[in-house]
Amino acid sequence: MLQGFWVRNFKSLRQFGVGSCFPKFVYIEDESEFLPYTLSPVTFFAGASGSGKSSVVDAFSFVSDCYKHGVAGACLKRGGFDAIYSQSGKGAITFGFQFKQKGEADVATYAISLFRTKNKVPYIETEILSYRQGEDAKPILFLQNGAEKSIRYLIPDKELSAADLTKIEFTDHNRLGLAALESHPRFPVLASLRTMFEDWTLCSFTPDPARGLDKSLPRRHDSSHGLSLSGLVRYVIQHHKGDLKSLLQRVAVNIPNVEKISVDDTNPDKPMVAFVLFDRDYPIPITHLSSATIRLFTYTLLMEENVPALLTIIDEPENGLDLAHRKKLSATFKRFEKMRRPENPQLLISTHCPDILNNQHPSQVWMMEKDRDGFTAVERASDSMVFQSEADYSNPQWFTELFSQFEL
C-alpha cells in the first residue's frame, strides 16, 4: 500500500508531497512533536477547480506510461517535455513513492527523475529503489547520470557489499529499469511495484459507451472511459464464476432502487448485465439504465472485485450523480474502508463534492489550493486550525465550513 508520494516540477505540482512524504515539503517548527502519517486505504484529494487535482491523477498516469511505453512516449502523449515541466521550475521532474509490502514492517522508496538533453530529448536521469530495513535504507535498484550511461545495479542480498553489486547494463535511456527487472524472493516489493504500475486503474469515464454491446475481451480492470465495462464483467465471469452471485449481491445493495443484478453472457447480441428494480418485476438491460446507476455499478464493482488492482483512482465520481446517489456512494466509500480486506485495492479519490467529503474523517482528506505563484499547495484537512476539539471532527458539515475558507 502507498504510504505517501511526492511530485516535483510536473505541471502545477512544483513541490508536492502527501502522506509520509509530506514533511519533505513543509516547514515544521518542532519536528519532535510531529507525528508522521501515511495515506489511508481510502484517501481523498479535495479542492476547487484548477487546484491541481487532475495533475495528481495524471502524475500516476504519466509514471505508468513511462513504465509501459518509455519516457519519450509518455511525454509525447502530453505534448512534449516542456508542456508538462512546471513554469520557472528548477531541476528535473521527479516522482517518488513510499510503498509498504503486505505483511512486512519495512518500507520501500521508489524515485525517478527525468530531464531533457540539449536537443530536448527526455531521458531518465536517476532511478532508485531502496528498501528500508531497520534504520538503514538498502538500494536495490540504482541509476545515476542517465544521459551519459545506462547502468543499473541490483543488490540481490542485503549482506552484499557495493563490490558485490550485480551490474545490469541497458542501452536505452528511455526505459525504466524497474520494467526490465525480474521478481526477487528477497525483495517482493519489486513485484508489487511492477504490478501497481501495470494494473493500476483510473476511472473517470463517461457512461454512454458502457451502454452499448461492447465486445471487449475479458480484462481485469475498467478503462478510464468505461469502454471495457463488459470486459471487466467477462473477467469476473471467467475467473470467479463461483463467487459471482455473492459479488453481484454485494454490489446491488450499494445502488439505490436496485433489488437484484443478473449477468448472462450466452447471447452475444444482448447486453450481459440486467437490473431488477424494486418498482419493477422484470429485468432491465444496462442499455436502458440511467448514467448514475451505471457509474455506481462500475465504482462498486471495482471495489468489490475478487482480484482488484493494487491502486484504484477515481476522478470526480460525483459527476452525473444526484443527491441520493452521491450519499449512497459516500456511504459505500465509508463501508469499504471499514470492511476493507488486505487484498482490496487502495483508493485515491479526487473530488470537491461536500455530500461525499462531509461523511469522511478529515484525516483522510487532503486539501489542495493554488499558492501565490500559481502552484499547488496541499495539507491534511485535519491539520487545519478549524478543528479545535473532538466535536469538530464529527461535525456533519465540516468540509463545507472548511472549504468556504479557501479562496475559490
- Residues 246 and 184 grouped into a single domain: no
Rounded average pLDDT over 188-192: 78
Range with the largest mean pLDDT of 103-107, 108-112, 181-185, 383-387: 108-112
pLDDT of residue 77: 93
Q: Are 377 and 33 in contact (CB under 8 A)?
A: no
Q: Tell me the C-alpha distance between 110 and 139, whole Å.
A: 10
What CATH number does the domain containing 96 carry?
3.40.50
- Residues 144 and 58 grouped into a single domain: yes
DSSP 102: T
Q: 157 pLDDT exceeds 70?
A: no
181 membership: H or E segment, kind and range: none
- Residues 133 and 282 grouped into a single domain: no
Q: Write down the pTM of the prediction.
A: 0.85
In this predicted model, which residue has the larger pLDDT, 89 or 61? 61
Q: Tell me the C-alpha distance between 371 and 241, whole Å.
A: 51
Q: 32 pLDDT exceeds 90?
A: no
- Residues 176 and 235 grouped into a single domain: no
Cell reading at 300: 462498486
Q: Tell me the C-alpha distance between 237 and 218, whole Å.
A: 9
pLDDT of residue 248: 87
Q: Which of 222, 220, 233, 326 is nearest to 286 (CA)?
A: 233
- Residues 22 and 158 grouped into a single domain: yes
- Residues 110 and 259 grouped into a single domain: no
- Residues 266 and 301 grouped into a single domain: yes
Of 149, 170, 199, which residue sits at a domain end?
Answer: 199
Q: Are 380 and 361 in contact (CB under 8 A)?
A: no
- Residues 192 and 274 grouped into a single domain: no
pLDDT of residue 74: 94
- Residues 110 and 142 grouped into a single domain: yes
- Whether 395 is covered by a domain: the verdict is no
3-state SS class at 195: helix
Of 160, 182, 199, which residue sits at a domain end?
Answer: 199
Q: Tell me the C-alpha distance between 227 and 217, whole Å.
A: 11
How far, in whole angstroms, is CA 405 from its chain's centroid?
A: 27
> The dihedral of CA 70, 75, 76, 80: what is its sign?
negative
Q: Which region among 75-79, 206-210, 235-239, 385-389 has the lowest average model confidence (pLDDT)? A: 206-210
- Whether 88 is covered by a domain: the verdict is yes
- Residues 28 and 169 grouped into a single domain: yes
Q: Count structural domains, the chain.
A: 2
Of 308, 332, 349, which residue sits at a domain end?
Answer: 308
pLDDT tens-digit series, residues 300-311: 888 877 666 788
Share of the chain above pLDDT 90, in %: 19
- Whether 115 is covered by a domain: the verdict is yes
b or e along 270-298 (b: 16 or more beta carbons within 10 Å of the residue's beta carbon)?
ebbbbbebeeeeeebebeebebbbbbbbb
- Whether 158 is covered by a domain: the verdict is yes
- Whether 350 is covered by a domain: the verdict is no
Confidence label for 37 from pLDDT (cuts 50, 70 and 90): confident
Q: Tell me the C-alpha distance between 215 and 217, whole Å.
A: 6
Domain range for 303? 202-308
pLDDT of residue 160: 46
Read off φ and ψ for residue 340, nearest 5 degrees.
-60, 135
- Whether 364 is covered by a domain: the verdict is no
Cell reading at 111: 524515485
Q: Are 93 and 115 in contact (CB under 8 A)?
A: yes
pLDDT tens-digit series, residues 78-116: 999 999 999 888 899 999 999 887 666 678 889 999 999
Cell reading at 197: 504500475
- Whether 107 is covered by a domain: the verdict is yes
Q: Which of 283, 322, 317, 280 is nearest to 298 (CA)?
A: 317
Say what the alpha-carbon torsion angle 336, 341, 346, 352 is, to the nearest 10 degrees.
10
